[in-house]
Amino acid sequence: MSAFAKPENALKRAEQLINVGQKQDALQALHDIITSRRHRAWQKTLERIMFKYVELCVDMQRGRFAKDGLIQYRIVCQQVNVTSLEEVIKHFMHLSTEKAEQACNQAQALEEALDVDDLEADKRPEDLMLSYVSGEKGKDRSDRELVTPWFKFLWETYRTVLEILRNNSKLEALYAMTAHRAFQFCKQYKRTTEFRRLCEIIRNHLSNLNKYRDQRDRPDLSAPESLQLYLDTRFEQLKIATELELWQEAFRSVEDIHGLMCMVKKTPKPSLMVVYYAKLTEIFRTSDSQLYHAYAWLKLFTLQKSFNKNLSQKDLQFIASSVVLAALSVPPYKHKRSASHLQLENEKERNLRMANLIRFNLDHKLDNGEVLSRSNLLSELVLKGVLSCATQEVKDLYHLLEHDFLPMDLASKIQPFLTKISYLGGKLSSAPSLPEVQLSKYVPALEKLATLRLLQQVSQVYQTLKIESLSQMIPFFEFPVVERISADAVKYNFIAMKVDHMKGVVLFGNSGLDSEGFQDHLVILAESLNKARAKIHTPAKKAPKLGEMLPSLADLVEKEHKRLLARKSIIENRKEAQELLLLEVERNAEMRRKKQQQIAEEEEKRRLASEIEKRKNQMILDEIHDKEIAQAKALLEDVGKHRKKKLRKSVLDGENVTKQAIMEMALNEQLRERQEMEKKLQKLAKTMDYLERAKREEAAPLIEAAFEHRLVEEKLLHEREQQLEVELSRQRHDGDLREKNRLTRMLDNKIIFQERVTSLRQVEYDRRRVEREDQIQQMLHTRKREREAMRKTMFFVQNEEEKQRKMEEEEEARKREEAERQRKIDEERRAKLDEIAEKQRQRERELEEKERKRRESLLGRSINGFSEPTVGSHPLEPGAVAPATAATTASAAATTKSDAAATTASDAAATAGKYVPKFRRERTEDSGQAPPPELDRWGSSRHDDPTSQPSDRWRTEDRRPSFGGGGSRSTWSSSRIPPRGGSGR
C-alpha cells in the first residue's frame, strides 16, 4: 500500500499514472488513500479524489471498487458534509448513464454502417460464417459486445447507490431520484427481470427500515416529506409495472403502497388515490376479476365526483357507465358450490385481502366474507347515484338484465344497446390520470350475462325447448358456446337444464329432491296447509282446573318456604365469605405497603452507596486525567528539545490545556519533522538519480561490444552442436536396422509358440466351461427338488390348518346351537312359570270377588238385624277368644293402619301388612280355628268395641295391597279376612 503524507500527493500521482496509461495503478493508489485511516477528516481534496476515483471506476467498469470507495467516503463525510457525498454519487450515476448511452449509439451506428457496406452483396462472407457459428445477427452480436457490459455496469451502479443510501435520512431525495432513474432504465430498455429485482430490493429496504428502528440515521416515515418521497417511489413503481405489463409485480406494488400506509396509519392524497384505483382497475381487468374490477371503478367514480371540480358531465357519464357495465359483467352466481373447506377458507381470506386493498382500510378489522358481492355492489350503485349518472343506453340495459322478464325477446332487445355501447368511449379530457374509457371491452361479458338471463327466464317458463329455437333466441353465440356457458351455470346451481342431442331438445328443471324449486313448493304447500288447519280447527283454550291445583298448593307453599330458608342461609354465607375476602384483601394491601416501603428504603440505601462510589470514581478519574496531562506535557517538551525552536511556555501552562490538545501539538511536531526528513530524502534521491544516469551512459558502449562478441561465440557453438547431433542420429539409425534384422529371424518361432499357447488355453477354457455347465445343471436340479419339497410341505401345512379351522368352526357352531337350545328351554320354563303365576292370580281374584260379594250380603243382613243380641245369644268357640282380644287391641291403634294384621288365631301378633303364604292360609281354613263368618260377624264384641270402624272402612282397607315381607306383590284373599265377631272390626 502506498503511503502519502497528503491526499494531494496521491491525486498528483494518480494523474501521472493516468497520463502514462497505468489506470489500474492510479485506481489502486486512490483506493488506498480513500480507505486509509490517516485521512478520515473531510477536506475538499478528498472530494476531488472521489471524482477522479469514480471516473476511473466507470472507465474500467470496476463496480466493486466504486462501491467500496463510496462506502468509505460516506463514513468520512456523513456527519460533516453529506452534500459532498450527494455530488459524488450524482457524478457517478451521470458518468455511468452517459457511457451506456454512448455504447447504444455506437452499436446503432455500427449496425447502420454494416447494413450499407456492400450494396450488391446480400451478406458478407464473414457475416455468413459468424451467423452459422453463433446463430446471432449483427445487431445482437454488437449489443452483446458493446451494449450489454455497459448495461450491466449501469444496473450495478443503481444497485450500489440504493444500497449506500437506504438508511440515510439526509439523502432521501437522492434515494428516491435513483429509484426513479432505475425505473426509467427498466422501462426504456424493457428490462423486466431487473425491474422485478429492483422492486424486491426496495421492498427489502423498507422492511429492514421498519425492523431495525434503533439506527442512528434512519429515515422517519412519520415526517410528511419522507412519506411523500416513499409514496412517489411506490407509485412510480406501480406505473412502470403496468406499462411493462408485469401484472403480478404491479399487484405487489399495490400491496406495498397499502402496507406503507398501514405502517404510518395515514391515507394518501386523493390525486394519488386516483392513480392507485386506476391501476387497480387495469390489474383486475387483466386477471379477469370482474367483481374487484367493478369495485375499483366504483371507488374511482366516488373520488372523481368528490374531489375533481373540473370534471365535465360527459366524462362523468363515461365513468358512471363504466362502473355500471363492470358491475353487470360480474357473473350472477357464486363459485362456492361443491368447494372444499380449504377452498372456502382461501376464498374468504382472499376476499378480506381484496376488500382491504379496494376500500383502503388501514386497521385490517374487516371480518365479513360476503362484503364484496354482486348484489351488494348493485345496491351501492343505486344508493350512491351511479346509475342516474350513466348514459341512457346503459340504464336501459341495466333494467333489461336485472329487472325485466322477457324470456322470448330479451336478446333481441339487448342487442341494439350493445351495438351502441360498443361505439362509446374515449379519453377523458377533465380526468387525465384515468385510463382511456372504452365501453366495448364489456360487450363480451354482457353478451354472456344476457345469455344466462335468457336461459334463467326460459327455464321458468318452459320445460322442454328445441335446440333450434334456443339458438334463434340467442344471436350472440353459436350453440356449442351456449352449451359451455350453461354447463358452467349448471355447475354453480344458477340454472337447472339438460341438453339431449339425440332428441334435439333442451330440458329445463330439476326433478330431484334437492332442487330449490321443489323445496320452495313444498314449503309453500306446508305453510298453506297449516293456515287452513288453524282456521278449521281453532285451538280451544282449556279452563284451568282449580280443583286439581288446590291439593298441591300446600306442598308448593312448603317447598317455597324451604327454598326461601335455603336462600337466606346462602346469602348469609356469601356475606360472611365477602367479609372474609375484604379482610384478606386489606391484609394483603397492608403487607404490600410494608414491602414497598422496605424496598424504597433499600433503594435509597443503594442510591447513597452508588453516589459515594461515583464520587470515589470521579476522584480517581481526575487523578488519572492530571497524570495523563503531565505525561503529555513531558512528551511535548521532549519533542521540543530536539528542535532548534523551543515551544512557548504559555502554551504548556495554559488553564484550558487538555491532553488531546497537547497530543495534537506533539503529533504536529512529529509531522513537521517527518516532512523535513522527506524533503531531505527527495533531494538525496535526485542526486542518486543523476549519478546512476551518468554511470549507465558510460557503461552503454561497453555493453554493446560485449554483446557483439557473445553473438559470434554462440554462433560457432551452435554449428558444432548441430554437426554432433547429425552424427549421433546416423549412428542410432544404423543400430536400429541391425536390431531389426536380428529379431526378424525369430518371427516364425514366435508365431508357433503363440499358436501352441493359444490352443492349450482354448482346451482349458472348454474343459472348465463344460464343468461349469454341469455344476449349474446340478444346482438347478437340487433347487428344483428343494422347491418341490417346500411346496409339498406348505400344502400339507395348509391342509392341516384348514382342517383345524373347520373343526373349530364346527365346535363353535355346536356351542351356539347348545346355547340356543338352552335359551329356548329357559324361555319355555319361564313362560310356564308365568302362566302358573297368572292362573294363581286369576284364582285369587276370583276368591276375592266371592269374598267381596259375601261381605256385601252380610252387610246388608247386619243393617236389617241391628237390634239382635250381641254376645250372650251366640256363644263363641273356645278358640276364638285369643283372636278377638288381639283384634280389639289392633283396632285401638288405628293410626298404625294395621287392620289386616288379625288374619288367624295363630297370627294375631303379626306385623300389619305382612304377606301370609298360601299354605298357611289353607292350613288355617282346614284347621277350623276361625269361627263361621255369621257368628263372628254378629258377635257382641263388634258392638262393645268403642274403636270399631264402619264396614265401608273395613272394605276399603281390605282391598289395599301389602308391600311388606320382601316386596312381593300380594292381595287380600278370603282366607286372610278376620271374622266380624269379637275377633275383628
pLDDT in tens, 307-359: 877 788 888 888 888 889 988 888 888 766 556 667 777 777 777 777 777 77
pLDDT in tens, 119-156: 344 445 555 555 544 544 445 555 556 778 888 888 88
The per-residue pLDDT for 793 is 94
Evaluate if residue 682 carries a pLDDT over 50: yes
CA distance 638 to 658: 18
- Given the C-alpha cell 337350545, which residue does it identify? 821
Evaluate if residue 669 carries a pLDDT over 50: yes
Residue type, 182: A
Q: Is 91 domain-assigned?
A: yes
Q: Is 106 domain-assigned?
A: yes
Q: Collapse the DSSP code of 797 into the 3-class scheme (helix H, G, I; strand E, B; otherwise coil) and give the result.
A: helix
Query: What does the pLDDT average to over 673-701?
Result: 90
Query: What does the pLDDT average to over 258-276?
Result: 82
The per-residue pLDDT for 640 is 62
Q: Which residues contact 300 (CB under 8 A, 6 or more apart)?
A: 274, 277, 278, 281, 319, 323, 434
Q: Is 49 domain-assigned?
A: yes
pLDDT in tens, 945-985: 444 444 444 343 444 444 344 443 433 433 343 444 443 43
Q: Is 223 domain-assigned?
A: no
Q: Is 713 domain-assigned?
A: no
pTM recorded for the entire structure: 0.50
CA distance 848 to 828: 30
Per mean pLDDT, which range of 14-18, 241-245, 268-272, 636-640 is the poorest? 636-640
The per-residue pLDDT for 733 is 93
Looking at per-residue pLDDT, the higher value among 215 and 868 belongs to: 215
Evaluate if residue 870 carries a pLDDT over 80: no
Query: What does the pLDDT average to over 627-632?
Result: 77
Split into its structural domains, the chain has a count of 1
510 in Cβ contact with 479 (< 8 Å): no
Query: What does the pLDDT average to over 667-683?
Result: 87
Residue 95's domain comprises 1-111+141-165
CA distance 737 to 715: 34
Looking at per-residue pLDDT, the higher value among 435 and 557 belongs to: 557
Confidence class of residue 816 from pLDDT cuts 50, 70 and 90? Answer: very high
Q: Which residues contact 468 (CB under 8 A, 6 or more apart)?
A: 504
Confidence class of residue 17 from pLDDT cuts 50, 70 and 90? Answer: confident
Angle at 739 (CA atoms; ends 736, 744), nearest 5 degrees: 125
> Quick one: three-class SS letters along 668-726?
HHHHHHHHHHHHHHHHHHHHHHHHHHHHHHHHHHHHHHHHHHHHHHHHHHHHHHHHHHH
Per mean pLDDT, which range of 9-18, 438-447, 668-677 is the poorest? 9-18
The per-residue pLDDT for 833 is 93
User: Sign of dihedral through CA atoms 366, 368, 370, 376?
Assistant: negative
Q: Is 98 domain-assigned?
A: yes
Phi/psi region, residue 967 (left: phi>0; alpha: psi -120 to 50; beta: rest), is left
Per mean pLDDT, which range of 441-445, 625-629, 694-698, 917-921 is the poorest? 917-921
Q: Is 70 domain-assigned?
A: yes
Residues of the chain with pLDDT > 70, as a percent, come to 75
Q: Is 147 domain-assigned?
A: yes
CA distance 565 to 557: 12
